A and B are shown apart, each in its own frame.
Chain A
Amino acid sequence: MTKPGSEVPRDLLIEAGAILASSLDPTTTMEQVARLTVPRLADLCVIDLRDEDGAIVDVAVVATEEGLARELEELRARYPLDPAGEHPVAQVIRGGEPVLLAEMTDALLRSFAQGSEHARFMIEHGYRSAVVAPMVARGRTLGALSTLRLGESERYGTQERDLVAELARRAALAIDNAQLYSDLQRLEQRLEAVLANLAEAITVVDSRGQMVFANQAAADLLGFLTPGELTRAHPGTVMTRFIVQDEHGRELDLESMPARRLFRGEQHEPLLVRNIVRATGEERWLIVRSSPIPDPENGRIGYAVNVFENITEVKRAQLGESFMAEASRALASSMDYGETLQRVARLAVPQIADWCAVDLLNERGTIERVAVHHPDPRKLELAARIDRAHRPTLDEPEGVPEVIRTGEARIFNDIQPEALAAYAHNSEHLELLSAIGATAVIIVPMIGATGALGAITLVSSESMRRLTAADLGVAERLGRRAGTAVENARLYTERIRIAHTLQRALLPESLPEVPGAEIEARYCAAGELNEVGGDFYDVFEHGEDSWMLVIGDVCGKGSRAAGVTALARHTLRTASMGGQSAAEMLETLHRALRRQPPGADLCTACLVKVTPASGRMRLTVTLAGHPPPVLIHARGDARQVGRPGTLLGVLDPIDVVEHETELRAGETLLLYTDGIPEAGHSGEALGERGLIELCRKAPQLTLAQLLEHIEHTALEHAEGSLRDDLALLGMRMCHSPLR
């Protein structure tokens, strides 16, 4: 039945090669291989494979008679081959070498039969000659291929044995490949299942930028319905759907993405990306990481796996917090609110918006633009033009005026051209507003204790970012902080202004000239300038040919002390004009102070009447509770002059004494307030003795230098923080003869 001939092997192997290459389903392949051998090489062909547990399973049984094949399959199902038994298939699988059984006797068949039924089957069907060849691939025996001849067919020889062995080897390779492939497929299916279920968006791109894989999260993130739609998109078209920036608002292109850098062989760190969906204005913050998949053949990077981690919520919360912290610092840093608000506007861009503008309601009830920021100077020019085209007034129904009036924040998204047209006040205004290209706007009031002081406007334009409720929250907090800061700054500015005005009223603008003498004064207020001090000094003509030097100190600080100080200074001047003596002037001031509302306004004063005489000055020193002045001789020794007198305004009656002395050429008289000796901690204060010591330097110093030196020393003792004001008034008699 079987055709002999030398052409059979070659044809068989060629045909087998085609079959093995064509299909990758192992069962079908083995069936076809078995079919090849029947009837050309065999009356019966069986292919057995070893399964994972080591059991031997027939995968193909082909015979010249179909009935025989089915019968054998059924028999083998009932009596599986024992892998450790004597059956040639089991032996060959164990041994790995082909076996030629040229002539099988009934006794041989019985010796390896799996029971009597099996033996009877083989004998009845005339099993005569067989070749059993191992199927070996990569050193592993996968199974065995058996060809049999029945009845009177020609017996097998070594030629057939070698042919069957070769066929078995090729079949083994095909099986191995098929198994590898199906293993790979299973692996890939598992991987895909894992990737598809990951919350992180994952894409795989090849070196040309073409996406070869994406999971559903990636499709969702990048705005595609399915991963397939995303992977089919043309490379480069995906990115145009977004505005992609780095943390600092700088635009990023495809080439700066980690995967591209990876393929260029550059360092690739995870990249924090701000991503805005052009279509919706939605903002996301993503961390993009790329890892290489090397090509096993050449070691070059074949693919890059991109992982996109969406950290929008975390990032926005963090940005909001850090923005508020920075803004609060900026707001607290300076009392110059114009400058401060400009800094806040700069901070808001680009973290929250593309534009930030701050408007304040001034005392005149008009709305004033005090700060505006956009990173592009040309755009800032646009803002200035809008401001010129239309300055909103408080009675307008919408926008900043509405927010200032109501104190309620407003948020607008998806701004349409019609809405803009309705809002614009004239055609130029509309044109400029359109040029801004606002897509979303938040306006929040700047709230102070007395209500809205102004408004902060945040505009999203070229970033197209949608402004969210979270942004509104941050903006409202900013509005409250800024409102408080502006209010504080306004109060502070106002106090400084009042303080300056008052201080000017307390001190003479210039000192008159006293012939033959030089006069200098210094004044230093304790603490901030906004606290008006109680020290005062004055120099004015007294009678025909005398001058009066005045220095005094009103106890206390602030507006009441300022009022009393002004009263003291002007009362003394008035009394002087009335021709009163120093003691009478002090009495007048005392009575004036006693007429003040109760509260123990206490005032000390030192009056020195100076009358030029030939070659000297006659001095009359009168003290009312005030430290006595120091008279410094030409060589530098100094002494205090004057008799203590009662301070003014508290105790009745007062007792003051006019003390006469004189000032000679080169001598200096120094009037001061108690802030000088009392400067510094108790025990370390300068003291009156310290002051007298300082005066020893007088001969080497000009009068101005001397006063400066004393003031400087007192400030050093105070270590920069004074208990009290300092006032110094000095007069030095010239060496040159009197005119």
Chain B
Amino acid sequence: MTAKGWWGKLLWIDLSNRKTKQVELDGGMLSAYVGGRGLAVRLLWDYTRPGVDPLSPENLLVIAIGPITGLPGPSTGKAVVASKSPLTCGYGDGNLGSRAAVMLKRAGFDALVFSGRLEKPSYVYIENGKTDFYDADDLWGLDSFSAERKLLERHGRSAGVLVIGPSGERKVKMATIVSQMGRSGGRPGIGAVMGSKNLKAIVIRGAKEPVIADLKSLREVATRAYLEARSKPAYSFWVRQGTMATIQWSQENSVLPTFNFSEGVFEESSSIDGFAMEKLKVAQRGCPNCNSICGNVILDATGEESELDYENVAMLGSNIGLGDLRRVAQLNRLADMWGIDTIGLGSAIGFAIEASQRGLLGERIEWGDFQKILELAEDIALRRTALGNNLAEGLMHASNMYKCEECAIHVKGLSVSAYDCHAAPGMALSYGVSSVGAHHKDAWVISWEVSHGRFDYSPEKARRVFELQKIRGGFFENLVACRLPWVELGLELDWYVKLFNLSTGLKWSLDDHMLVAERTLTLIRSYWIREFYAEGKAWSRRMDYPPTKWFTRPYTRGPLKGARLDPQKYDELLGYYYELVGWDHRGVPRASTLRKLGLNDVEAYLGRITGLTN
């Protein structure tokens, strides 16, 4: 029997046969994985064939929400999009704030699973329990903003829409899923998976009311939580600058990615920071159910609105030597319209500029050369030219093609998000062991690290990374709530535990959620190993190493000139982490760890393919 808060069912949509079925999710499954990321990885483990081609009809696309999604409560309007990644060939996901998350809740499902492939480009319309398939002849080829506008005109402005742009259609391996003209998720190519299924968009409407254990109390607690968030000392500044404040913070702490992660400081940083943004700001946007909205909108170099945040501006600004915020905003807007990961795009452009300056491309591109960068961005997003096409395949592919490992700033194929780690071993570890490849989502340890033994490789750093992974990559991703009110404003985690309990009627502690988080993270690691073995690739601890450049090329400027990572000490730090999380020297979960987490079937499978230590 399913507790309250969840619907206890998912909608399985077989695109090849245009058929749907409702699949029951029993209470055991939901309490073991909660929702969002946890539910998604369990479904992928159970229902995808090991070694499945990520862009084949056999692969699954999962859209998952959680037991507090769409209910009153700070930042509960998000969904997880997940699949086997075409970029990394491991587990891939992302989350995005969208009305589609709220509408999915009201449509009566905890998740959507898409299998197969549509015969021709189409979109799916879900209204409560009913699903229709529509041709997308007039949408295919449109950018994500134009396509969403058309869909909202057709289905009503309150509909939730998840859509891909031209990059997803072309199966660019860093294509994302976009919503509300600026919200994107699924950096590891989840938009390409959607494109491979000929699925242009998912439109959701719902009017059902989920059964909540104690709705009256939940509303009261939610109201108090909103007020608490507003009362925090950081609130006013956060609403003014949002994540854009991090540009200045990163510059001061010498971690602002500059010139393809070669340096940690950028001479023109004050031209692209939060204060520069405040002078140009024309609007502010946020996700559903959020009172701490952080989407800052400026007019870009062409006069169009562009919604900025730190990662986008750092990767399309300092990382490629561009110090003009309106031009950065133009690249950012175009990336969202094409439906391509802004972080991945900035990293691909950085790769190309550095490779060109090493004489590897046959032409030279200068840092900050906007016209050439703009052209290159379009070449990547639309797979034009040989260079654009190679970069659209991802950094590992480009690294092999152009023989420049140092130019490729990634972990497991996913580009590093916007924190340079020449002088941040803990953050380097965080990237190294992140669930999806190099991403800041799981363990943004750098803020703690810069004030706790910045240059140390101590076991304490491994402990902190694991603790943050469980909170950020587990607790928040499984509930599918935004972590920012907690991490930026200091809104206590207990608020979310209360909302969960009032929604479901369960009496869980934070420790109960941490156990689910650990199970989720361990299952994700197991999925990576399963897929690598199935594809005949070797798995080793080298998979958890950060980019080569951070070891080999020290900073040449700034207060921390000369800083670089020490490979031997990093390996020791990685060893501390493995010990802590219960993985062996290869980074493979131990049999005892899997048993402790109730993953006995996973233990049996991994035992067969790789042998497990106890």
Asked if A and B bind, the verdict is no
